[in-house]
Structure 1
Amino acid sequence: MDTMILARHLAEALTFPTVEGNEEAKENFLAFLTRTYPRVHGELSVEVVGTYSRIYRWKGKNTERLPVLLTAHYDVVPVEEGTQHHWTCPPFSGEIREDFVYGRGALDDKNQVICILEALERALEKGEEPQRDVYFALGHDEEVGGKEGAQAMAKVFQARGLSFSYVLDEGGAVVEDALPGFFQPFAFVGVAEKGSSMVELRVQGEGGHSSMPAGPSSVAILAQAIARLTDHPMKLRLTPAVEKLLQELSGVGGVQGFLLRRPRLFFPLLGRSLEKISTMNAMLRTTMAVTRIQGGEADNLLPQEAWALVNVRLLPGDTLEEVLQEMKKIVEDLPVVMKRITTEEASSLSPTDTAEFKALKELIGEIFPKIPVLPYIMAGSSDSRKYEPCSKNIFRFSAVKLTSSDLTTVHGTDERVSLENLETMARFYEELLRK
């Protein structure tokens, strides 16, 4: 595969500002895909869902084998107003510079869209035929919840009684410096996603002039409630996925390796160390973080009301109702009214002892030799959870090798992908299509 052609295709894809509400950009992007990948759009069945999403189907030789589903999305988040000048290249210029393609969507998730279609186009050019049916669900609204895209496509599959051997979406990657104390890269495969719900804390106060306060103000009570919730995090809990992750790390040897080989037995000890690492803490408990707060509009007035929003990230196995009850106990003696604003429960947990996970692990090993493959729980959300009714094997992995600093560009400034990563990702999908 010609890497520069691949890079130019992605670069052009990045020039379409496919943010929420820009329907013209979405239409133009889909037209670009049609003319750039003529064989895909001429030889595969292509179904329109929700106006801007697409289901591609490539028929395979063996109809008795369960099909596979690849997913990706082409919508992108906006560039924060006032930050455009911080970019090395304009965010929607799709510029190739010093072996990188710059632009919003370069890592999330137009790189995946282009590499999947590139692999399909090349396979069709060579006259190849898959061993089983391959579906590709292309979403247009993942960044705003995926209701008209992935959710609608999942309903189409359900209505047809379709089940998939596995679903593969964006999510994990090969990360070079992800775990403190381990000086090697790891390939992280997401096997679950935490739920993200919003809870409101509201306090009513007396109000009045600040020169004559009659007890704690609504702001002071709210601050006390927030401090308590911060000081009383949810309990640590070891899920099967993280247990497997820790066991895979046990090759370090010594006392550390001995403990990691038996993570459930030694969890009381391991947990106290692991919770100090933010990435591990997020995989071991439901977390609570205050993201917004409001109280008072004048310097000399006691606010009658103060409120805060808490983002609750639910670990698989916890429910928002259970967590709400726990939060209420922590502040039960304070006049705080607590209510849910939005509810998104955690996804189900995909097993790692299946033939499907083993096959994915082997493929990753072919593309990234000698790099350990670890299951993990994603703190964020993707379209993949919408397809849970269609498969028990939902995996989240992007075949790119990144550093922690690279990850900060996703939804941030200077989002970019290297030509080397593009070539690797396209090769990953080429090999996957042959399996």
Structure 2
Amino acid sequence: MGNPEALLPKDSKDLAGGKTFYHSYFQDNRYRKYILNFFGLLAVSLFSVTLYRGYISSLDPGSFDICQVGALEHRGKPLGTHGPRNKPRRQNIEKLCPRVEPIYPEINTPGIRRAIAYLQSPDFLFRSAKTLGDAIKVRTAVYDDFGEVGRDDRWNKMERFHDYLHGAFPAVSRYLLVHPVNEYGLVYEWGGSNENLKPILLTAHQDVVPIEQETMEQWEHHPYSGHFDGNDVWGRGALDDKNQLVAIMETVNLLIQSGFRPVRKIVLAFGFDEEIGGDQGAHYIGEYLLYTYGEDGFSLIIDEGSSMQSEFGSDIMVISTAEKGFMNQEITIKMPGGHSSIPPLHSSIGIMSEIVVALESHPFERVLSDDNPLFDFLACSAAHARDFPKELYDYIVQDDKQALADALVKLNPRFDADLRSTTAVTTICGGTKVNALPEYILYRQLRRNMD
């Protein structure tokens, strides 16, 4: 059994992130609800819509309403409260995270009503799964050693993905203006009826991370098969990030077919090298958008963002408001070569190993600052989650952030990376032959900084 990226996983693991997801296919069609929310965003053309990416466990997707700011409701009950929730014991906790009443768009055209009904149908599920599967079949893996566009022919694979988009979403290709940026970046523009309103920007990326050939046999289905087994879609990009790209394109395509026309302009921007830093894609797209729309030219930008989290007995929709900076670091060791029959006390690999151990043995300090959005997440959870731990609640009331951070990690170690700068050893290269001493060792690590 492999570790696939699965669009609609029943019991699956995110191969890259190591996260485990559990939920039922018939009760939770994550992709369907994801598209439904994009549909709501575009249909009302408002700038402050709350979108989500991910899944909602043990809930019937047919009973959800398209909503706007703040709260999503399920069967008339705010999402995140499966039962009677704890009332805050102190008024100041509630003030930290007030609940915003949901705003519902007016859906008053037959075409839109038919489109929404289609989103709830089994036919839509299977067609969408096939559409995503076809996107996965187009191999768009990028590697750290890719050169500049125009000088490295390996970028040419993106042309096949563009051909796929053109064929899969004919209404988008027919009605939207498309601007290639640095050859393979794509910026689509869907004009609005009111040019005085700032546009909204929806983004995704076309590229995926590579597959280690040594792990190929561990996949239950080929990582580029896009196989849909009735429950799961298998393959690279099913979670990062072809699902979002296909969701955006499918939503716009369906809206056009339903006769919808936006009031404010809608811009789609798809990079092609996000997994290696974005220097060739997002960098040039950003310059193009800045030149075209100016500073603060968009009313709303929706990127990959976060997802649904099941924490403290409730489902919590997480909206990303900050991201760590990052820095790629390299260490190289050069030593004289020689035959392995006469080794030095420490080879270059041995020395590099000591460096790695020293770095991993001295992590950065854990800090929960006022600027860390994790505190807002915890405050909202304390105010509204059903089973928020009393110990954490009391630390929030006392404003003891260090004690709160330590207790949180003790309760759930996965939060540790949200509370400190991190370093991750990612590659070590060196040595050419088993009986020859290595002369050159290269070590790479990715550092993500809180400051």
| Shorter-normalised TM range | 0.5 to 0.7
1:42 aligns with 2:174: yes
Corresponding letter in the other structure for 2:367: R
SS at 1:237's partner residue?
A: coil
Show the 5 A alignment for 1:194-209.
Answer: 194-201=324-331
Provide Cα deviations, 1:198-243, integer angstroms capped at 9, x if missing partner.
Answer: 3345678899999999988877766655444434322222233111
For the Cα contact (< 8 Å) 1:37–1:117, is it kept in 2? yes
- Equivalent positions of 1:115-130 (< 5 A) are 115-130=247-262
The residue matched to 1:100 in structure 2 has which SS? Answer: coil
For these two proteins, the number of residue pairs brought into alignment is 311
Partner of 2:136: 14
**Residue equivalent to 1:189:** 319
- The answer on whether the counterparts of 1:249 and 1:260 sit within 8 Å (CA) in structure 2 is no
Paired with 1:25 and 1:144, the residues of 2 have a C-alpha distance of 16
Which residue matches 1:284? 419
Q: Distance in 2 between matches of 1:19 and 1:221?
A: 33
> Shift of residue 272 of structure 1?
2.1
Q: CA 1:192–1:221 in structure 2 vs 1: closer, same or farther (change >3 Å)?
A: same
User: Which residue does the alignment assign to 1:146?
Assistant: 278
Please state whether the residue corresponding to 2:132 is helix, strand or coil.
helix
What code does the residue aligned with 2:166 have?
Answer: T
Query: Residues 266 and 45 from structure 1, CA distance in 2 versus in 1: closer, same or farther, beyond 3 angstroms?
Result: same
Alignment partners' CA distance in 2, 1:116 and 1:15: 18
Cα drift, residue 283 of structure 1: 1.1
How far the C-alpha of 1:133 sits from its partner, in A, is 1.1
Tell me, in whole angstroms, the C-alpha distance in 2 between the residues paired with 1:193 and 1:153. Answer: 20
Identity of aligned pairs, percent?
32
Letter paired with 1:90:
H
Residue pairs, 1:89-104, within 5 angstroms: 89-104=221-236
> What is the aligned partner in structure 1 of residue 288 from structure 2?
156
Contact 2:205–2:271 (CA under 8 A) maintained in structure 1: yes
C-alpha contact (below 8 Å) 1:286/1:313 kept by paired residues: yes
Evaluate the alpha carbon distance shift between residue 70 and residue 229 of structure 1 in structure 2; reply closer, same or farther with a 3 A threshold: same
> Are the counterparts in 1 of residues 395 and 403 from structure 2 also a CA contact under 8 Å?
no
**Structure 2 gap ranges (5+):** 1-117, 119-123, 143-152
Instruction: Map Cα deviations across residues 334-364 of structure 1 (whole Å, 9 max, x no partner).
Output: xxxxxxxxxxxxxxxxxxxxxxxxxxxxxxx
Q: Which moved more, 1:160-169 or 1:41-50?
A: 160-169
Q: CA deviation at 1:71?
A: 0.4
The separation in 2 between residues aligned to 1:298 and 1:13, in whole angstroms, is 40
Q: From the superposition, tell whether residues 260 and 64 of structure 1 become closer, same or farther in structure 2 (CA, over 3 Å).
A: farther
Closer, same or farther: CA 278–202 of 1 in aligned 2, 3 Å: farther
The alpha-carbon deviation at position 183 of structure 1 amounts to 3.6
CA distance in 2, matches of 1:134, 1:76: 25
Q: 2:391 aligns with which of 242, 256, 271?
A: 256
In structure 2, give the amino acid aligned to 1:82: E
- Distance of aligned partners of 1:215 and 1:144 in 2 relative to their CA distance in 1, 3 Å threshold: closer
**In structure 2, do the counterparts of structure 1 residues 41 and 302 end up closer, same or farther at CA, with 3 Å as the change threshold?**
closer
Distance 1:31 1:207 in 2: 50
Counterpart of 1:282, as a letter, is: A
Answering whether residue 447 of structure 2 is matched by residue 312 of structure 1, we say yes
More displaced, 208-217 or 33-42? 208-217
Asked if structure 1 preserves the Cα contact closer than 8 Å seen for 2:327 and 2:448, the reply is yes
State how far apart, in whole Å, the 2-side matches of 1:286 and 1:261 are: 22
Q: CA deviation at 1:149?
A: 1.8
**SS of 1:186 mapped into structure 2:** strand
- Quick one: which of 131, 154, 174 aligns to 2:263? 131
Name the SS of the counterpart of 1:191 in structure 2.
coil
Give, in angstroms, the shift of residue 299 of structure 1.
9.3
For the Cα contact (< 8 Å) 1:34–1:41, is it kept in 2?
A: yes
Do residues 65 (structure 1) and 200 (structure 2) align? Answer: no
Q: Residues 261 and 64 (structure 1 numbering): CA distance in 2 closer, same or farther, change over 3 Å?
A: farther
What is residue 364 of structure 2 aligned with on the other side? 234
Change (3 A) 1:246 1:83: same
Where does residue 212 of structure 2 map in the other structure? Answer: 80
Deviates more, 1:37-46 or 1:252-261: 252-261
The alignment's TM-score, normalised by the length of structure 2, stands at 0.60
- 1:171 aligned residue (305, 315, 320): 305
Matches within 5 A, 1:341-380: none
Normalised by the size of structure 1, how large is the TM-score? 0.61
| 2:412 maps to 1:271 | no
How far off its partner does 1:83 sit? 2.6
Unaligned runs of 5+ in 1: 318-435
- Closer, same or farther in 2 for the Cα pair 1:117/1:197, shift >3 Å? same
Instruction: Give the Å deviation of 1:84.
Output: 2.6
Distance in 1 between residues matched to 2:137 and 2:349, nearest whole Å: 46
Whose relative contact order is higher, 1 or 2, with alpha carbons under 8 Å and at least 6 apart? 1
Structure 2 Cα separation of the partners of residues 139 and 297 of structure 1: 36
CA 1:253–1:207 in 2, change beyond 3 Å: closer, same or farther? same
Cα–Cα, structure 1 residues 307 and 167, in superposed 2: closer, same or farther, change >3 Å? same
Deviation at 1:23, TM superposition (A): 4.6
CA RMSD of aligned residues (A): 3.4
Larger mean Cα displacement after TM superposition, 122-131 or 192-201? 192-201
Report the AA paired with residue 101 of structure 1: V
Amino acid at match of 2:406: R
Q: Which moved more, 1:197-206 or 1:74-83?
A: 197-206
Deviation at 1:56, TM superposition (A): 0.7
